[in-house]
Amino acid sequence: MQVTIENLTKKFGDVIGAENLSLDIKDGEFVAFLGPSGCGKTTTLLMLAGIYKPTSGTIRFGDTVVNRLSPRERNIGMVFQSYALYPHMTVYKNIGYPLKLKNMQKKEIDERVNAVANTMGIGDLLDRRPGQLSGGQQQRVALGRALVKEPDILLFDEPLSNLDARLRLTMRGEIKHLQHDLGITSIYVTHDQIEAMTMADRIAVMSGGHLQAFDTPEALYDRPKTLFVAGFVGNPPMNFINVEVSASNGHFVATNGNMSLDLSKERGEKPATAGNSVVMGIRPEDIQIAPDGTVPAEVFVVEPLGRENLVDVRIDGESILLLADTKADHKRGDSVKLKFNMNKAQFFDSKTGKSLLWA
C-alpha cells in the first residue's frame, strides 16, 4: 500500500507535535523515521494509525484519504516499544484478538494464530500470559499480533528499545527479513541511527517536528543536505570545524588558523563563494594519523572499540574524533600528524545549516 503524507501538522494546544510533513512512501517500502527523542516521530505514527486526528494536512493510503477513518478502518498492524500486550490474555488470545474483532470463525482464528506463532517461533508459548515471557518473547508476540490480520501497513514505534543489545541485533535481522518476505509497507520509528541505517530502504530524518531529509541511507551518509542530518547520521558522529574556503587561480583551500587543507574543484568551488562563514564536516573514518600528515595534533583520549580505536585528538584545543588502527599504540599526550581525506569533506553554511555541496 502506497502512503502519501501532505503538509501534515499536529498541534497539542501550543505544543507542536509535528509540522508540515510531506513525504510519500512506495508500496512495499521500508521507511524509518529517525530523530532524537521528542521530535514528533510517535505523533506522526499515531496520526497514520488513526489515534490522533491531524490538525491539518492529508494522509492517503493508496488513493484514499484516510484522515477521517478510525483505526479499525485502516487495516494496520502496530508494534509498540512497551509491547502493549494485554496482560489478562494468554499469548493465543493476544494474537487472536484482532481476528476476534473481525468476527472471524473460531477455526480460522485457530489456523491463523498457529501459523503466525510458528513463524515467530513462539508456537510453544501460546498458553502463557505476557507476564510469564521474556522481553524478546513478548516482542515476538507483539509482532505476531500485528501480522496476524495481514495488514496493509505495518507501524513500528521503537520496537527494539527495551531489548538488550544482542537480542536487538537478532530481532533487527528478523524484522527486516520478515518485511522483505511479506512485502508489507512498513514505517519504523527509531532514535537509533544504526537501526535506521541497517533496516530501512529510505530514512526520514526529523527534528523539532520538522522533516529534515528523506533519502536512502547511503545518500544521507555521503551527501547530507543539512548540518543536522550530517551530525545525526553516523556513529561516531561527524566532526565540524569552522573554516574559510578560498580560491586562487583554480586552486581551493580550506583554512583555519595555521591549518590549511587543499580541496579539489568539485568540493571547493561552491563553498569558496560562501565567504568565511563555512562549517566543514569530516567523518572520523576519513581522518588518519599518518607520518606524512599535514595537521599537527595532540592525542587527548583513546577509547578502544575492539576492532579499532576511537581517538579524541586536539587541534589548537578543539576536539576532533577519528578512528585509528589498534596496532598503532597511541597514548595520551602523543604528538601526531593528521591526514584528511578531503574528497569526503562536507561544507555547510554556518548560518542556515544548509549544505553548500548538495543544495
Partner 1 sequence: MEKKAPDSRRNILRANLTAYGFLAPAGILVIIFFLIPVLLIIYLSMTNLATTNFTTNVSQMEFVGLENYAILLRDQFAGKIFFNTVFYVLVTLAIFNVSLALIVSLLTMHIPRRAGFAFRAIWILPRITTATVYIMLWRRLAVEAPYGIINQFNTLLNQPTYNYLDARPWEFVIMANGFIGVSFGMIIFTSAIESIPKDLMNASLVDGSTIMQRIRFIIMPLLRWPLLFVVTYQTLSLLTSFEQILLLTNGGPGLYDTEVWSLTAYHRALSNYFGNAQWGYGSAFAVVLVIIGVVLAVIYMRVFRFNELVAEPKIEVL
Ligand X SMILES: Nc1ncnc2c1ncn2[C@@H]1O[C@H](COP(=O)(O)OP(=O)(O)O)[C@@H](O)[C@H]1O
Task: Please report, for residues 78, 139, 205, the alpha-carbon distance to residue 211 in angstroms, rounded to integers and kept in the order given.
Answer: 22, 29, 6
List of E strands, 161-224: 185-190, 202-207, 210-215
Residue 202 interacts with, from Mg ion, partner 1, ligand X, none (CB under 5-8 Å by kind):
none
In angstroms, the CA 294 to CA 315 distance is 12
Q: How near is the Cβ of 41 to Mg ion at its closest, in Å?
A: 5
Computed on alpha carbons and rounded to an integer, the radius of gyration of the chain in Å comes to 24
Is 81 or 193 the residue whose CB approaches partner 1 more closely?
Answer: 81
Instruction: Note whether 42 binds Mg ion by CB under 5 A.
Output: yes
In angstroms, the CA 298 to CA 152 distance is 55
In angstroms, the CA 204 to CA 162 distance is 22
Q: How near is the Cβ of 266 to partner 1 at its closest, in Å?
A: 48
Q: Which residue's C-alpha cell is 511479506?
A: 182
Instruction: Note whether 41 binds partner 1 by CB under 8 A.
Output: no
Residue 76 interacts with, from ligand X, Mg ion, partner 1, none (CB under 5-8 Å by kind):
partner 1
Q: How near is the Cβ of 51 to partner 1 at its closest, in Å?
A: 5
**How many separate helices (H) and strands (E) can be counted in the chain?**
9, 20
In angstroms, the CA 19 to CA 15 distance is 10
Among 78, 259, 278, 321, binds partner 1 (CB under 8 A): 78
Instruction: Note whether 132 binds partner 1 by CB under 8 A.
Output: yes
Longest CA pairwise span in the chain (Å): 80
Is 125 or 297 the residue whose CB approaches partner 1 more closely?
Answer: 125
Site string for partner 1, 152-191 (x = CB under 8 A): ---x-------xx--x------------------------
Stretch that binds partner 1, among 79-87, 178-186, 267-275, 284-292 (CB under 8 A): 79-87
In angstroms, the CA 254 to CA 268 distance is 8
Instruction: Note whether 147 binds partner 1 by CB under 8 A.
Output: no
Among 10, 41, 112, 149, binds partner 1 (CB under 8 A): 149
- The answer to whether the beta carbons of residues 134 and 170 sit under 8 Å apart is no
Find out whether the peptide bond into 304 is cis, omega within 30 degrees of 0: no
Q: Which residues bind ligand X (CB under 6 A)?
A: 12, 15, 17, 35, 37-43
Residue 85: which of 125, 33, 133, 150 has the closest Cα?
Answer: 133
DSSP one-letter code for 123? G
Q: How near is the Cβ of 78 to partner 1 at its closest, in Å?
A: 4
Among 7, 22, 82, 264, binds partner 1 (CB under 8 A): 82
Binding site for partner 1 (CB under 8 A): 46, 49-51, 70-72, 76-78, 80-82, 84, 86-88, 97-98, 101-102, 131-132, 134-136, 145, 149, 155, 163-164, 167
